[in-house]
Structure 1
Amino acid sequence: MAEQSGDCFDYIVVGAGSSGCVVAARLSEDAGTNVLLLEAGGRDEHPYLKMPLAFLKAMPDPRFNWTYMTEPEPNLDGRRLPLPRGKVMGGSSSINGMFAMRGHPGDYDQWAQMGARGWSFADVLPYFRKLEDSWRGEGTFHGKGGPVQIKPIDLDVLHHERMMETAEAAGFATSEDLCGDQAEGFARGEMTVDSRGRRVSAASAYIKPALGRRNLDVRSGVLVHRVVFEGKRCVGVEIEGPDGPQVIRARKEVILSGGAYNSPHLLMLSGVGPAAHLKEHGVAVVHDSPGVGRNLQEHPTASLEWNSREPVTFLNQLRWDRIALNALRWAVFGTGPMAYQVNSCNVVIRTRPELERPDLQIMVNPIRFDAQTWFPGIKAVQEHVFWAGLVQLHPESRGWVELKSADPREVAAVTLNILDTEGDRAQMRDAVRAARKIYGTAPMADLLRDERTPGAQVQSDDELDAYIRASCYVAQHPVGTCAMGMGEQSVVDSELRVIGVQGLRVADASIMPTVPGGNTNLPCIMVGEKAADLIKGRVLPAAELPRRREAA
């Protein structure tokens, strides 16, 4: 029997990630409400979590990453894929690549069409504006003065203008703003980095400014075992205390914000999920909810690389004396290469003209995937290589999250099941061929010598399929495992309340019925903003949208 801790709060938020930090901070704006935010990971004070370019060091580091792995993937030759997830305050927003995207407006209109009332693009745009402090200023599509600072990637060694010229030569559109009235084309990337050159995470944007509030209690290093029910009403959470399990009670609601892997895992540990699966693991069923853990979606990603004709990639900036100098420049002034994401151009395009929305994102990176520091005479410089990450934006395949046991310390079993359909495999082949067309067009082609991986000899459908199966990975954008708008498979309703019980909501990427066509950090923050208003019983009015421009 778990011990009652004596603590009691109006709201308990489980998970201090991209959504949970927002929910907790916004709820605590009401001085008459007390809020507890629980995070299983640690503090977010390390310099790697502040310096934008250091995300390449932070992301694989087990001090900051839970190091989850998939089960053997059935369509990827049985490979197990790494699933980086943030193990610190701010969650994955503290270790990600900081890319600021929303996806296509049609992505959110699709949610509404599926039955998620109040989640169309017109409905969510006010929350995207609310969260932003955009370098563009306030306007129809952007906000000014919000918690999340957004700035352009305008480092002058990234060959951005060359890629924009290549777009037009290859027959693709360019866009001044993928979050504006033309959500397709080649565009300058944007990132969540502040004016001092520091990463903007959900923790730095929302929680740190709120820590002085007496009604907000933030605890890190706390593992939640399960949600506690009395009948069908959620009354608190059971945590791992110093002397065994302890229960902390919630007077009003518990909000799960553990993400697409942990929120369904916690629901199932608590008795909400597919009844037969719960019984198989000895979990008493509170509510049979067959959609919990299903509908998992991710963005499959493949890499292409080209050898450079000349030593003109970002590898030049990785000579160790330059790194030392630029680290000092970043620490003192917040400027220089260390204050940026290394991305030449954000490419969001359709591989076939008849598609309604872009199906491919290309992360254009003027550096090799395995780049290392070097110094003449001590450690040789690697060959200069250009690398492109090809992200499939709207996969058909669906995966699942399941229990391995009833032990809350044992992580969930995740099967992404990516590339399960011929449609997905065909789209990935189309992506490779589209990237080859782009990189084979001048002026970008003038910098390239030959294709390094997979190599120009890999041409047929079967050859491309084999390469993609053997090498593809994920963009770290999991969604959908506690989704709304799924009919009988819905886990939450359109107000994010868990169906079949009381006093419990989910607010994170797991509630999304489909994955947005872009990086998911800003959409998760948007979910947190809207969730807080739903809990308060108020929502911002829908935006009046201008006519959208289509890519030429």
Structure 2
Amino acid sequence: MATYDYVIVGAGSAGCVVANRLTEDPNVSVLLLEAGGADNQFFYRLALGFHSWRYPHTSWSYLSEPEPHLNGRRIMLPRGKVLGGSSTINAMLYSRGHPHDYDLWRQMGCEGWSFADVLPYFKRAETNWRGEGPYHGGSGPLQVSKINTKKLLHEPVMEAARRLGYPTTDDHHGRVHEGFGPGDTTTTRRGRRSSASKAYLDPIKSARRNLTIVTHAYATKLLFEDKRVVGLEYQREGKTEQVRAKREVVLSGGVYNTPQLMMLSGIGPADHLLSMGIEPRVDLPGVGRNLSEHAGYWVEFETKGPVTLLNEIRADKLAVATIQWALFGKGLLASQSNSAHAEIRSLPGLDQPDLQIYFNPVRVDAKPWFPGIGKRQEHRVSAVVCLLQPDSRGWMELASANPADKPRITLNIMGTRRDADTLVRGVKIVRQLYDTPPLANLMSHELSPGPSVQTDAEIEAYLRNILITTHHSVGTCTMGNGSMSVVDPQLRVHGVEGLRVVDASIMPTVPGGNTNAPSIMVGERGADLIRGQRLPPAEDAANAVVTPEYPYTIA
């Protein structure tokens, strides 16, 4: 069989990074396997083309099991099945989370993963529009750009927040990590998506002969010699192939595919594996457990006049915007349609934000329209509310021993009283903001939840009927040294030699923000762990955390 030094399973947000960094050594050979195909479609490059996650060939299209706290509803769980993984189909919003998130990992026994430890890796990964500085990188592969808030109702949102006493910041990753401000996206200066594949693979895949990328390759089983993983088996074009790793196999398949492959190979909860007819090799009860996800929902308002972004997606204007984007990388299609981004505390006494809110200057289901043909949609705006610090934990299990069968995933979101209460407060906060001038001057009335939903009990019942996720799942192969941990702080799988996990599944808790940037950071840090290297911790990291006063009150 073919032999490489390292075999990486999954060319997603972390796997692309690991492949790039390991092949910096010309004497190291790497095979990168991806179950999906190439990322060369037009919509992958377009900033507003993230709805490509709906395409079956692009996404794994998972569904949760009937959710026990959401009235038995099944939740759609798209995950990228393409080069770049979910970074190729996500909404490109760049967010690292709060410094306390990573300090908590260190307190949980994950040595080398405090904020001071990971900040240098966030910086190494990016070229930020602000340039090189204490909190940002200026020469990394990942391009981070500022959202152009022109025509996006940015100022009315910001002024309403100021009047209510909320803090503001021009950089959620600088000294002040909470408050209202403009957002950042993973897009280039020419308005193209900067996915992990475009950032880390495209510049090297033709130049480095020690990197082999194989697409449409679905890993089905790890190969062992005693307790050591020495390779794996995968299916491609109807054939079963095997490959050998002289040094290590690195699993970067993501929060669902990585634990699935481990369990199919006999690594996981012994009782569950036996029930599936799989002989356990290593009894690791934490595989598939500790699933953490950000619950989310929309609050929507109708405006008094035609003030939303619906004006800009009129067919003729959209055609001009497409040409402008294609030729110059400018205009509507070169950035995200986001008015403002807020990370805030919903209660005094908290030491970090527990809610994230994205304010969007357009309705959730906005569609292009043609003047004089058909009926134009009504002008609406929406706010997306996200629970940043969930208590609830879910789990995933195999459906069978057949690798083609999708795993059974239970998110268990809204499973604790604290989570439910925080989500209810989110509705009140959004209502208060849209009822505050100058934002209130633009609004006609609330559409959802609607005026009939007022008491805490009514809001909670409404949320249990509509709540979804923001696609930030982590934790199913959690890092640590406890009885339910799966990998150690070096990302080596407990009880197995020659096997590491480098993706979002190792995160002990979900960071308080979007998870693409943290996943890329894990790839950067994981590659150094494999190489036996380490960037020095940031000496001034403690000064990067400023907690504003809590002067605001919630009606």
Q: Is TM-score (shorter-chain normalized) higher than 0.5?
A: yes
* 1:122-521 equivalences in 2 (<5 Å): 122-211=116-205, 212-242=207-237, 244-485=239-480, 487-521=482-516
Once residues 182 and 17 of structure 2 are traced to their aligned partners in structure 1, the CA distance between those partners, rounded to angstroms, is: 27
1:25 equivalent in structure 2: 20
The Cα shift of 1:526 comes to: 0.2
Paired-residue identity, %? 51
Letter in 1 for 2:315: W
Once residues 376 and 324 of structure 1 are traced to their aligned partners in structure 2, the CA distance between those partners, rounded to angstroms, is: 13
Query: Once the two structures are superposed, what CA deviation does each residue of 1:301-351 show, in whole Å capped at 9, x if it has no partner?
Result: 011001101111111111111111111111111111001111000010001
1:55 equivalent in structure 2: 50
Once residues 201 and 462 of structure 2 are traced to their aligned partners in structure 1, the CA distance between those partners, rounded to angstroms, is: 43
Q: Which runs of 4+ in 1 moved over 4 A?
A: none
2:521 equivalent in structure 1: 526
Preserved contact between residue 44 and residue 50 of structure 2 (Cα < 8 Å)? yes
Letter in 2 for 1:199: R
Q: Secondary structure at the match of 1:193?
A: coil
Query: Once the two structures are superposed, what CA deviation does each residue of 1:460-509 show, in whole Å capped at 9, x if it has no partner?
Result: 12211111011111000000000012611110000100000000000000
How many matched pairs? 546
Q: Secondary structure at the match of 2:93?
A: coil
The Cα shift of 1:238 comes to: 0.5
Preserved contact between residue 155 and residue 337 of structure 1 (Cα < 8 Å)? no
Once residues 418 and 16 of structure 2 are traced to their aligned partners in structure 1, the CA distance between those partners, rounded to angstroms, is: 37
Once residues 332 and 246 of structure 1 are traced to their aligned partners in structure 2, the CA distance between those partners, rounded to angstroms, is: 44
- Verify: 1:7 aligned to 2:2, yes or no: yes
Query: Once the two structures are superposed, what CA deviation does each residue of 1:495-550 show, in whole Å capped at 9, x if it has no partner?
Result: 10000000000000000000000000000000000000000001101101252322
- Verify: 1:551 aligned to 2:539, yes or no: no
Once residues 414 and 27 of structure 2 are traced to their aligned partners in structure 1, the CA distance between those partners, rounded to angstroms, is: 49
- Verify: 1:37 aligned to 2:32, yes or no: yes
Once residues 400 and 220 of structure 2 are traced to their aligned partners in structure 1, the CA distance between those partners, rounded to angstroms, is: 12
Once residues 113 and 438 of structure 1 are traced to their aligned partners in structure 2, the CA distance between those partners, rounded to angstroms, is: 36
- Aligned CA RMSD, in angstroms, stands at 1.0
Q: TM-score, normalised by structure 2?
A: 0.97
Q: Secondary structure at the match of 2:298?
A: strand
Preserved contact between residue 231 and residue 242 of structure 2 (Cα < 8 Å)? yes
Query: Once the two structures are superposed, what CA deviation does each residue of 1:350-396 show, in whole Å capped at 9, x if it has no partner?
Result: 01011111000001001111111111211221010010110000100
The Cα shift of 1:244 comes to: 3.7
Once residues 254 and 47 of structure 1 are traced to their aligned partners in structure 2, the CA distance between those partners, rounded to angstroms, is: 33
Query: Once the two structures are superposed, what CA deviation does each residue of 1:2-36 show, in whole Å capped at 9, x if it has no partner?
Result: xxxx2100000000000000001110110000000
The Cα shift of 1:155 comes to: 3.5
Q: Secondary structure at the match of 1:517?
A: coil
Unaligned runs of 5+ in 2: 550-555
C-alpha change, 1:242 and 1:174, in structure 2 (3 Å) is closer
The Cα shift of 1:457 comes to: 2.1
Once residues 68 and 176 of structure 1 are traced to their aligned partners in structure 2, the CA distance between those partners, rounded to angstroms, is: 36
Q: Secondary structure at the match of 1:487?
A: coil
2:87 equivalent in structure 1: 93
Once residues 96 and 317 of structure 1 are traced to their aligned partners in structure 2, the CA distance between those partners, rounded to angstroms, is: 22
Letter in 2 for 1:162: P
Once residues 524 and 284 of structure 1 are traced to their aligned partners in structure 2, the CA distance between those partners, rounded to angstroms, is: 32
Q: Secondary structure at the match of 2:203?
A: helix
Letter in 1 for 2:61: T
Q: Secondary structure at the match of 1:260?
A: coil
Once residues 61 and 446 of structure 1 are traced to their aligned partners in structure 2, the CA distance between those partners, rounded to angstroms, is: 39
Preserved contact between residue 133 and residue 146 of structure 1 (Cα < 8 Å)? yes
1:3 equivalent in structure 2: none
Letter in 2 for 1:514: T
Letter in 1 for 2:310: L
* 1:108-127 equivalences in 2 (<5 Å): 108-127=102-121
Letter in 2 for 1:270: S
Once residues 364 and 202 of structure 2 are traced to their aligned partners in structure 1, the CA distance between those partners, rounded to angstroms, is: 34
Q: TM-score, normalised by structure 1?
A: 0.98
Once residues 356 and 241 of structure 1 are traced to their aligned partners in structure 2, the CA distance between those partners, rounded to angstroms, is: 49
Q: Secondary structure at the match of 2:413?
A: coil
The Cα shift of 1:246 comes to: 2.1
Preserved contact between residue 149 and residue 182 of structure 2 (Cα < 8 Å)? no
C-alpha change, 1:343 and 1:243, in structure 2 (3 Å) is closer
Once residues 89 and 500 of structure 1 are traced to their aligned partners in structure 2, the CA distance between those partners, rounded to angstroms, is: 31
The Cα shift of 1:243 comes to: 6.1
Letter in 1 for 2:351: E
The Cα shift of 1:241 comes to: 4.1
Once residues 55 and 365 of structure 2 are traced to their aligned partners in structure 1, the CA distance between those partners, rounded to angstroms, is: 16
Preserved contact between residue 486 and residue 513 of structure 1 (Cα < 8 Å)? no
Once residues 283 and 398 of structure 2 are traced to their aligned partners in structure 1, the CA distance between those partners, rounded to angstroms, is: 15
Query: Once the two structures are superposed, what CA deviation does each residue of 1:180-224 show, in whole Å capped at 9, x if it has no partner?
Result: 111000011000000111000000000111112100000110000
Once residues 544 and 529 of structure 1 are traced to their aligned partners in structure 2, the CA distance between those partners, rounded to angstroms, is: 19
Once residues 156 and 301 of structure 2 are traced to their aligned partners in structure 1, the CA distance between those partners, rounded to angstroms, is: 16
